[in-house]
A and B are shown apart, each in its own frame.
Chain A
């Protein structure tokens, strides 16, 4: 039993941190620009595919830097020529733009790299076991992923809290117009933030690609969970997104690990229920992928500003 708990915690943390890396970019974009970026997961996929393509020539680590830069460039172009043009028609138009953009990016990747998953894997030496627990070894790569995620959180936190750019971003969150009046070029700030958000998604792609397999459907499969992290975490709150992604990662992993059905739980509490009925036979494992959305609905009903946010979406 201990083994399950230890491993579930480790796996839950890893999955949570990966979710955080992916959604941290969206926290900035969604909270600051109010843009419900449906294409965020697509930039995550682009990050993985660019890392795969570059990795063949320049190796894993250079690709780790180059791929996010490439995607940031793409993000800047998308904001400059697409999003900015649609901005004045309001948030619904921006959302529709990103909705169409996700379609186009997913299909373009499918067009260029074909429909078979590409074999994008971490370099050999990273796959060796870092340590072995209860006879199961835990690869270095997973350790590296966690480290990068935590580093990313600290760096982002520092940037937002301590630097001038960070201050400008936080100010623009609530008083965008005023930041403009203070002489900051808000459109360029928006472009920078959007590109930076896409770069963060790409970085998550570079790291997550080998773990979660790189194939054209990876963005669609992940898609909505990203919004759950941002909304549950709270608008504009990086710390909130961090807690929310860990919470979702751990809850989902533990629900899978504890192979218990609703019937068993009810019986444990004293109800005499047939544990294999259609409703009672449902196991926590099958509820696991629903948990983020159950959390989303509950948070929006009872605490709309999320765990740490000050603003209601």
Chain B
């Protein structure tokens, strides 16, 4: 957006997010909530670094967790070095504070991407997806073999209350770690946003849109993809470094296909085409993964269904939806569009409730107990037709509203 914005307007998003980060600890208490917020911060950096590849650079990767995991291992080994150096107090590591470990993560991730990336970046598309899938599986399997580096199944653990202390911030409780995560998430998000404004950032968009034309304006696409690959690997490593400090343990799972899948999930649900899309995706998916399983046994099924719904009905993701509303608000015709959109949202809620009802009832039938019902204190009896009628009613209402709002929207445009 190179349109002439007054400097204040350009700074507004960053000031607001700084304000939000400062206010959160006042509104929230309890280490459990803080540890989820720290996880959200880590996932935001991880999802954004993934979108540097996919959303910005058009490169679909299935091995992004490799750089996240290697960054985490780099940082945890750094933490152990700091701990050991603490005894005699000499050497580089004795003066290296734990807070800067994400930089070690960044360096490890970027270095790994540098070593591996060149043959990968020959082509984007399916070839890139497959070769990163191969890399992901290789490194995940390899991580079981080198105990000194990866610590085998049990992983490598350490203690973050070592090394020099700055600003009196001892990383004891998740509440303290919050400040560490808040600092790094703001810095990383700003850095990744700034990257999109640099010439390399613009050209990475160009390589996404039309790699062939790029050659004819003097740039081999492979070089650009390689540089973007290294930068994305670095920021993934930074996220890994944050995770190492937050959990004080790094296990091979952080390298595996499931973690790469998580990055894809967050970026896609959040919206690939919008810079802040993956941030929205990271928050939603992290909350669903951590909290939902407290309330229902079918939490993984719900994550899958949300993902399917977004891919089918909102291909530009939640971020895309927000962007649509923002554009309409800026154009001033928000009021005209609102009923159509609200109608659509209502339809989604109704159908979702119907679906949740069906799944929980089936759970009641097949597993003989249902957590969600217990938590809500309702005792739906799966055999009584009344309950199923209610579910059918929800579906009917949902589809009705959906059609109505669709007609309304078509009438508008």
Interface residues of A (CB under 8 A from B): 34, 36, 82, 85-86, 89, 91-93, 95-97, 99-104, 106-108, 111-114, 223-224, 227-228, 231, 278-279, 282, 286, 289-290, 293-294, 296-297, 300-301, 304, 312-313
Contacts and interface: CB of A to CB of B under 8 A. Distances in A.
B141 A296 contact: no
B336 interface: no
Nearest to A108: B301
Contacts of A278: 146-148
Nearest to A295: B134
A312 B300 contact: no
9 smallest CB-CB distances across A and B, nearest first, come from A103-B304, A100-B307, A107-B301, A296-B134, A100-B308, A104-B304, A313-B126, A297-B134, A293-B137
Contacts of B339: none
**B-side interface mostly:** helix
B115 to A, nearest CB: 14
B60 A112 contact: no
Nearest to B54: A92
A279 B121 CA distance: 29
B145 A96 contact: no
**A-side interface mostly:** helix
A180 to B, nearest CB: 22
A95 B304 contact: no
Interface string B189-211: 00000000000000000000000
A23 to B, nearest CB: 13
Contacts of A97: 308, 311-312
B127 A300 contact: yes
Nearest to A101: B308
A282 B145 contact: yes
B145 to A, nearest CB: 5
Nearest to B131: A300
Given A100-B307, A100-B308, A290-B137, A296 B131 contact: yes
B311 to A, nearest CB: 5
B130 interface: yes
A208 B290 CA distance: 35
Nearest to A313: B126
A224 B144 CA distance: 18
A297 B127 CA distance: 10
Interface of B: 54, 60, 119, 122-123, 125-127, 129-131, 133-135, 137-138, 141-142, 144-148, 257, 261, 264-265, 268, 272, 298, 300-301, 303-305, 307-308, 311-312, 315, 359, 362-363, 366-367
A36 B123 contact: no
B134 A228 contact: yes
A313 B125 CA distance: 8
A96 B307 contact: yes
B301 A111 contact: yes
A34 B366 CA distance: 37
Contacts of B305: 100, 104
Contact of B363 (A99, A111, A296): A111
A96 B126 contact: no
A95 B315 CA distance: 12
Given A108-B301, A111-B367, 6 more contacts: A91-B126, A107-B300, A227-B133, A290-B137, A296-B133, A297-B135
A290 B142 contact: yes
A38 B11 CA distance: 42
A282 B142 CA distance: 10
A223 B119 CA distance: 24
Contacts of A312: 123, 127
Contacts of B122: 304
29 contacts: A36-B126, A86-B311, A86-B312, A91-B125, A91-B126, A97-B311, A100-B308, A103-B300, A104-B301, A104-B308, A107-B298, A111-B367, A227-B133, A278-B148, A290-B137, A290-B138, A293-B133, A293-B138, A293-B141, A296-B133, A297-B131, A297-B134, A300-B127, A300-B130, A301-B119, A304-B123, A312-B123, A313-B126, A313-B127
A13 to B, nearest CB: 24
Contact of A114 (B303, B362, B367): B367
B369 to A, nearest CB: 13
